[in-house]
Structure 1
Amino acid sequence: MKAVIMAGGKGTRFWPRSTADKPKQFLALTSEYATMLQMTYDRFRSALAEEDVYVAVSENYLSIVREQLPTLPLEQLIIEPDQRDTAPCIAITADFFMKRGLDDVIVTAPSDQYIPDADELMEALRIAEAAAKDTGVVVTLGIVPTRAETGYGYIEASEATADKKYGSRVKEVTAFIEKPSKEKAEILIQSSNIYWNSGIFIWRPSTIAGYMERYQPEMWRIFRQEGAALQEAYRKLPKLSIDYAIIEKLELLYTIPIEFTWDDVGTWTSLERVFETDDDGNMVFGRIYPLSTRRSIVYSEQQKVVVIGVEDLIIVSTGEGLLICHKSEEQKVKQAIEAMNSDQEDREA
């Protein structure tokens, strides 16, 4: 089994710490000593040989990866000409291995997830590997939900196990559910066969290639080209997630429910599931002085910050900018940053 860490995302919901030049996977968010990418790499290296761990990254972040993972051999970097979302990233990954005559089972995993128990993760991946060796079989890890989360997609699985030969933990996926409303999420988590979609997939490169050719033939066709022609064609691909491109269309799709600690660390409030808060429910980073303040997250890189008489706020100050957001509106941060960037582009035009 080989692992491919996808490190090309932008992570705009962590603005202003996360920027286009240095997204969240390159930041130390859940540790004082290691970035999200470094922690993900170490997690896989705890069980896999050095030659079996790869990183897929766009050209504009290549220097950061080389800086943060200096021992990673250059030949184990899968370089994307541009950021085009997870479907093109996984397509170029499959092409990378197949052109080298390699068809071992691979794990394609995000670079910015918090999974403190590497042993339990690898145990689940080994079970998935055994199933994914079969032609056309795709396995994902389904996270047993612990709350009515509206920021994740959900998976519905069969109550019965998929097949005796795959073992009792492997279940057939029957449906995908888009990010739900709070009310719908409350209903979903009452079911024993509903899981969060982890975005971690286990499959062979030939399996990816077969489904790409079937469901995304125009995308897959560009990999017949080489060099500059391929790079130019890649940059013109539509931004498309692997879920929409392939996963939601599959019949031979299975999931392994897992209950170990997992978080995609996608928003500022997700850090409250990683770090402890003070007696007033606040989480502070930097020289922060809260007074009559409750359940707030306050971060400052340089300036002293005094916060008085507020509740349930996210306040983040960096050299990039200032964010002040009510926790209930946190999912709109991405939308606000996109609007800000669009306005800036218009001003520069």
Structure 2
Amino acid sequence: MPNNYVVIMAGGIGSRFWPYSRAEKPKQFLDVLGTGRSLIQMTYDRFLNISSSDRIYVVTNTRYKDLVKEQLPDLSDDQILLEPIGRNTSAAVAYPAFKIKQRDPEGVMIVAPSDHVVFKEKVFQDNINTAVKAAKGSEKLITLGIVPSRPETGYGYIQYHSSPLKKVKKVKTFTEKPELELAKKFVDSGDFVWNAGIFIWSIDTITKAFHEYLKDMAVIFEEGSQKYYTDQEQVFIDTAYSQCKSISIDYGIMEKASDVYMVKGKFDWSDLGSWDSLHEIKEKDGANNVIEGNAILYDTKNSFVKGPDDTLIVAQDLDGYLITKSDNVILICKKDAEKKFRDFLNDAKGKGEQFT
């Protein structure tokens, strides 16, 4: 544990959960599951058995600094890394990687999104510890793969070399969000897992990988960590991000590197990427409806209804719909219309910032 560092990525705006998730308070800061803890708080809690609180960092947008401080009061300002603009996951990994390198070049870094849900947390911790042990002092870049329960087209897939006696398996290929028929073949084959976007590597290995595959980005953040990560850190980062290209860590490094490995995660997991995925894990009535609020439903099934207690929602003859009222927005659409949410949000901006 002393050398384990956790980086929680919390910069997204959660557009596919609009209007419940808003620009001023996106889904990672919301109590989506009704547990009394927001998603980022649940993520933080999950890692306290893997690392100590002083070795947990959050990478987020500048506008969410106060939300992070409010919800995770044990973090110091130095542990809240503020991005002036979004530059995808490569920059969100490079910034803390080179910062931690100055603190502990022998450390192991665990990277996780802030808005995922994990059940069977003891199994999750065991899988992480397996990966940490394999990453320590090695050149391995390790990711967690989730055993698929269905042919899901919204997730990336990892194909791995079958090695029953090894817990850490060599990765063959990455495939991003396949069509349904291909996803079915992946699941039937038995040698594909979902890409959970959770990574484990030594600080030395990931910083070397940046120098090899994303050299410009590596030079920027290495220089900053050596010269400016004091009272001038935020001034430097604001400039550095304007020079970084926007690229994911998967495309930028993982799909190019040779020493890429996978630990098979056997815990229950959801990335909560959409209302549809939230519907899947919520308690449902006899018609497969999730109802949160006051609702009267007639001949309605497979739907998600959410609204404030002082609003009555009445719906009839719907199948697979989302009906939600959040503050000043009412949304009615197909529950699986996640590809349309960017359009919804962009068009809502045209009506005024107060709706986004």
Q: Same fold (TM over 0.5)?
A: yes
Task: Write the letter of the residue equivalent to 2:109.
Answer: I
Alignment of 1:109-188 (within 5 A): 109-160=112-163, 168-188=166-186
Partner of 2:325: 317
Could you tell me which residue of structure 1 aligns to residue 334 of structure 2? Answer: 326
Give, in angstroms, the shift of residue 344 of structure 1. Answer: 6.0
Secondary structure of 1:99's counterpart equals: helix
1:254-275 deviation per Cα after TM superposition (whole angstroms, max 9, x unaligned): 0011221011011111123322
Contact 2:112–2:198 (CA<8 Å) still a contact in 1? yes
Structure 2 residue 10 is the aligned partner of structure 1 residue 7: yes
Matched, 1:94 2:97: yes
After superposition, the Cα gap between the structure-2 partners of 1:141 and 1:335, relative to the gap in structure 1 and judged at 3 Å, is farther
Q: CA 1:84 to 1:326, structure 2 compared with 1: closer, same or farther past 3 Å? A: same
Deviation at 1:239, TM superposition (A): 2.4
Structure 1 residues not aligned, in runs of 5+: 162-166
Query: Which residue is equivalent to 2:281?
Result: 274
Code of the residue aligned with 1:287 in structure 2: it is N
Matches within 5 A, 1:70-109: 70-109=73-112
Map 1:197-236 → 2, pairs under 5 A: 197-223=195-221, 224-225=223-224, 226=228, 227=232, 228-236=235-243
2:296 aligned with 1:289, yes or no?
Answer: yes
CA distance 1:142–1:335, shift in 2 (3 Å) = farther
| CA contact 1:114–1:262 (8 Å) conserved in 2 | yes
Task: Tell me the matched-pair count.
Answer: 340
- 8 Å contact from structure 2 (residues 123, 266) kept in 1: no
Task: Give me the whole-angstrom Cα distance separating, in 2, the residues matched to 1:60 and 1:261.
Answer: 32
CA shift in 2, pair 1:339/1:209, >3 Å? farther
Question: What RMSD over aligned residues (CA atoms) do the two structures have, in Å?
Answer: 2.0
Q: Using the aligned pairs only, state the percent identity.
A: 36
Moved more, 29-38 or 228-237: 228-237
Q: Unaligned stretches of 5+ in structure 2?
A: none
Contact 2:50 2:129 in 1 (8 A): no
Task: Give secondary structure in 2 for the equivalent of 1:246.
Answer: helix
TM-superposition CA deviations, 1:20-58 (whole Å, max 9, x none): 111111111123311000111111113432223222222
Aligned-pair CA distance for 1:78: 2.6
- SS of 1:107 mapped into structure 2: strand
CA distance in 2, matches of 1:139, 1:114: 20
Deviations 1:170-217 (A, max 9, x none): 110000011011121111110111000010000122222111111112
CA contact (8 A) 1:37 1:112 kept: yes
Q: If the length of structure 1 is used for normalisation, what is the TM-score? A: 0.91
Tell me how far 1:135 sits from its aligned partner.
3.6
Partner of 1:305: 313
Between the aligned partners of 1:304 and 1:221, the Cα distance in structure 2 is 57
**Contact 2:158/2:173 (CA < 8 Å) preserved in 1?**
yes
